[in-house]
């Protein structure tokens, strides 16, 4: 009691109440006096020259003076840490928090059986937990999520109903690429809440759970601050790295080699929708960002969801000028002047330029780096003719079988390992397409009561497969439809017609025979589909009969479009009466 109230008088009655749980004996005052005398002897034997315990009516006072009391030292260090946090000195603040928590040796006052003391112990434990959460928040802010996981796991096991600590563990796991574990931490917490207090988790956990499912940029790991090497703007405004990235080793090696090559270099990454063009680009950029001392510039041209505009070129140059530190008042409003300023700022830099979702060369040619030390990476669903002959051209294909399974396993954790055959089937039904794999994994994470096999069974029917490859705002069909809508009417019709075929791979001769098409016109239209990666050309020895293949899941989409067109045509036909055995029957003509 005296230590808990250092430098304050504690009455004999309060001490007696604490020692004897509110039922002190008649000799309580005498026994307290005897104990105080023994304590004074112990202090003197330990080398304390001055009196530590003073008699002060109506009780006693423990005089701190120059002596250390762990509780007071803890509170002082916490106060200093909070002041440092307020001033923005985050690293120093975490050091003070760590020093404060290092003073604890287990639970406070754990060997004392007293209602008064136990109440005080609970209050101290709550203070300690609050400080731990403050300190953890700063460590997360500094990107130290991996170091926190084991510590937070133990805390959550000890205090399963403490929402803030559980949320911090989920966030640390997610930022460390352990998304499935983060979802399992939420599931276990929800179960504790429902079973023990009959309530759903509060907003902190619910909102974080939703943010993890949607890969909300607001919860991505922060970029560690880097001191500027010189007083010029070094842009690094590109998206956060992809969680649980797998595969693409050959493409990453090719990009590494390109970045080390002399002179300005350009890479063109193409492939069908959902193949992972942007993910590869951003992941590689995070690996190499430190080497580009002039910074990383990023622009999304949104070719996936809109038509190219004449203003795109100027807007892209202006966007990069803003990233390079040009103020609004100094921003040129004509393309030539803006381009000249951009090239001047970039000429001596070693910079990485990321141009995502590009439709045409005209959108980007003004911002391709002019200096000899920079690299540009362009992603597109189109074969940009002006770059195909000069750039490093990476045409992405689905990830390998093992890579697809590894991605699902990292996202789903033990659930995937418990059903290896179903996980392999799921990877194949998703066409080993990264976007489809992530949508399927998110769906299973959101439905912990589902087995992997259950989703496999739902995806097994081709006609409804795309219905099940959607979750939240992610819909694979919507991505495919956006690509389809950009086709010219005759190319779009050819795509729908190819949906009638019962195979993913076919020859030009077979298509012309089955669909009764002119060979030259059919080849022109099919090659247009190849150019936008809605079909793949298949190399083969027979050059007379060209062969083609649908990318994963696109045949399903083409068949769906054809089916919808046939149904619409049937619905539009006028019915006719057909006689049969003196009985009139109403049916549609076929």
- Cα of first residue to Cα of last residue in the chain, in angstroms, is 95
How high is the pLDDT of residue 272? 92
Separation CA 447–CA 59 (nearest Å): 62
Structure tokens at 97: 């928090």
Q: Are residues 346 and 459 in the same domain?
A: no
> Is position 18 within any domain?
yes
Domain final residue, candidates 477, 498, 516: 477
Check which CATH number belongs to the domain holding 293 and give it. 3.40.50.300
How high is the pLDDT of residue 117? 63
For residue 516, pLDDT beyond 60: yes
For residue 7, pLDDT beyond 80: no
pLDDT band at 100 (very low <50, low <70, confident <90, very high): confident
For residue 579, pLDDT beyond 50: no
Q: Are residues 421 and 344 in the same domain?
A: no
For residue 584, pLDDT beyond 90: no
Chain mean pLDDT for the chain: 84
Angstrom distances, CA of residue 519 to CA of 284, 522, 526 = 42, 5, 10
Q: Are residues 506 and 385 in the same domain?
A: no
Q: Are residues 332 and 420 in the same domain?
A: no
Please check whether residue 219 is in contact with residue 212, taking contact to mean a CB–CB distance below 8 angstroms: yes
Beta strands 375-380; 265-270: pairing state: parallel
Separation CA 263–CA 218 (nearest Å): 37
Q: Are residues 363 and 298 in the same domain?
A: yes
How high is the pLDDT of residue 277? 94
Q: Are residues 491 and 464 in the same domain?
A: no
Q: Which of 140-149, 262-271, 482-491, 574-583 has the lowest mean pLDDT?
A: 574-583
Domain final residue, candidates 142, 165, 198: 142
Q: Are residues 363 and 455 in the same domain?
A: no
Looking at per-residue pLDDT, the higher value among 216 and 256 belongs to: 256
pLDDT band at 366 (very low <50, low <70, confident <90, very high): very high
> Is position 584 within any domain?
no
Domain final residue, candidates 23, 38, 62: 62
How high is the pLDDT of residue 225? 43
Looking at per-residue pLDDT, the higher value among 231 and 389 belongs to: 389
Task: Return the top range by mean pLDDT from 21-35, 97-111, 340-354, 566-580.
Answer: 340-354
pLDDT tens digit sequence for 38-69: 777 776 776 666 676 677 777 777 666 656 66
pLDDT tens digit sequence for 147-159: 889 889 988 888 8
Q: Are residues 376 and 272 in the same domain?
A: yes
Q: Are residues 261 and 337 in the same domain?
A: yes
Please check whether residue 359 is in contact with residue 382, taking contact to mean a CB–CB distance below 8 angstroms: yes
What's the domain count of the chain? 5
> Is position 165 within any domain?
no
> Is position 458 within any domain?
yes
How high is the pLDDT of residue 364? 93
How high is the pLDDT of residue 495? 94
How high is the pLDDT of residue 49? 61
User: 393-406 burial by CB neighbour count: b if 16+ within 10 A, else e?
Assistant: bbebebbeeebbbb
> Is position 333 within any domain?
yes
> Is position 236 within any domain?
no
Beta strands 352-356; 59-62: pairing state: unpaired
Angstrom distances, CA of residue 527 to CA of 304, 362, 454, 531, 547 = 20, 22, 38, 6, 11
Maximum separation of any 2 CA atoms in the chain, in Å: 125
Minimal CA–CA distance to 427: which of 448, 415, 409, 445? 409
How high is the pLDDT of residue 113? 62
pLDDT tens digit sequence for 166-176: 989 998 888 88
> Is position 586 within any domain?
no
Rounded to the nearest 5°, which phi and psi values hold at 119?
Answer: -65, -40
Please check whether residue 126 is in contact with residue 164, taking contact to mean a CB–CB distance below 8 angstroms: no
Separation CA 432–CA 441 (nearest Å): 12
Helix (H), strand (E) at residue 353: strand 352-356
Domain residues for 376? 249-395
Q: Are residues 299 and 345 in the same domain?
A: yes
Q: Are residues 380 and 501 in the same domain?
A: no
> Is position 182 within any domain?
no
Angstrom distances, CA of residue 201 to CA of 157, 187, 193, 205 = 16, 10, 6, 6
How high is the pLDDT of residue 567? 80
Q: Are residues 258 and 345 in the same domain?
A: yes
Check which CATH number belongs to the domain holding 44 and give it. 1.10.10.10
pLDDT tens digit sequence for 276-329: 999 999 999 999 999 998 999 999 988 666 787 888 899 999 999 999 988 888
Q: What is the DSSP letter of 262?
A: S
Q: How many Cβ atoms sit within 10 Å of the Cβ of residue 262?
A: 7
Helix (H), strand (E) at residue 230: none
């Amino acid at each position: 009691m005296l230590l808990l109230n250092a430098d304050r008088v504690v009455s004999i009655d309060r001490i007696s109440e604490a020692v004897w749980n509110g039922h002190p004996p008649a000799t309580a005052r005498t026994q307290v006096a005897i104990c105080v005398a023994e304590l004074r002897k112990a202090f003197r034997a330990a080398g304390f020259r001055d009196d530590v315990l003073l008699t002060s009516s109506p009780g006693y006072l423990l005089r701190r003076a120059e002596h250390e009391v762990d509780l007071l030292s803890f509170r002082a260090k916490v106060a200093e840490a909070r002041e440092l946090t307020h001033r923005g000195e985050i690293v120093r603040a975490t050091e003070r928090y760590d020093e404060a928590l290092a003073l604890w040796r287990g639970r406070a006052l754990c060997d004392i059986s007293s209602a008064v003391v136990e109440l005080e112990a609970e209050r101290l434990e709550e203070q300690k937990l609050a400080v731990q959460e403050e300190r953890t928040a700063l460590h997360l802010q500094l990107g130290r999520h991996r170091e926190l996981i084991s510590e937070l796991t133990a805390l959550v096991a000890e205090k399963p109903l403490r929402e803030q600590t559980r949320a911090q563990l989920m966030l640390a796991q997610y930022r460390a690429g352990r998304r499935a574990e983060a979802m399992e931490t939420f599931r276990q917490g929800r179960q504790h809440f429902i079973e023990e207090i009959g309530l759903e988790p509060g907003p902190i956990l619910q909102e974080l759970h939703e943010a993890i499912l949607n890969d909300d940029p607001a919860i991505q790991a922060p970029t560690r601050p880097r001191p500027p090497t010189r007083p010029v703007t070094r842009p690094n405004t590109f998206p956060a790295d992809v969680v649980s990235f797998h595969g693409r080793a050959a493409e990453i090696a090719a990009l590494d080699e390109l970045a080390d090559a002399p002179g300005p270099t350009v890479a063109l990454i193409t492939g069908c929708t959902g193949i992972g063009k942007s993910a590869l680009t951003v992941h590689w950029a995070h690996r190499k960002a430190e080497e580009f001392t002039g910074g990383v510039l990023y622009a999304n041209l949104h070719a996936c969801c809109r038509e190219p505009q004449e203003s795109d070129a100027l807007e892209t140059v202006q966007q990069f000028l803003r990233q390079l530190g040009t103020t609004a008042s100094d921003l040129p409003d004509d393309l030539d002047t803006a381009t000249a300023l951009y090239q001047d700022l970039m000429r001596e830099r070693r910079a990485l330029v990321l141009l995502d979702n590009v439709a045409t060369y005209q959108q980007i040619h003004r911002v391709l780096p002019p200096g000899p030390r920079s690299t540009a990476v362009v992603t597109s669903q189109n074969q940009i003719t002006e770059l195909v002959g000069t750039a490093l051209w990476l045409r992405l294909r689905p990830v390998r079988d093992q890579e697809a399974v590894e991605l699902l396993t990292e996202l789903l954790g033990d659930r995937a390992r418990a059903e290896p055959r179903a996980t392999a089937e799921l990877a194949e039904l998703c066409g080993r397409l990264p976007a489809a794999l992530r949508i399927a994994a998110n769906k299973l994470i959101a439905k912990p009561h589902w087995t992997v096999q259950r989703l496999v069974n739902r995806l097994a029917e081709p006609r409804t497969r795309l219905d099940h490859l959607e979750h939240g705002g992610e819909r694979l069909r919507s991505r495919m439809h956006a690509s389809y809508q950009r086709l010219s009417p005759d190319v779009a019709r050819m795509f729908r017609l190819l949906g009638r075929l019962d195979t993913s791979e076919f020859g030009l001769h077979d298509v012309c025979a089955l669909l009764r098409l002119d060979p030259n016109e059919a080849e022109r239209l099919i090659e247009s589909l190849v150019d936008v990666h809605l079909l793949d050309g298949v190399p083969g020895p027979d050059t007379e009969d060209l062969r083609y293949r649908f990318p994963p899941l696109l045949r399903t989409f083409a068949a769906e479009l054809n089916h919808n067109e046939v149904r619409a045509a049937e619905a539009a036909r006028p019915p006719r009466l057909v006689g049969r055995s003196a009985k009139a029957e109403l049916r549609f003509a076929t």
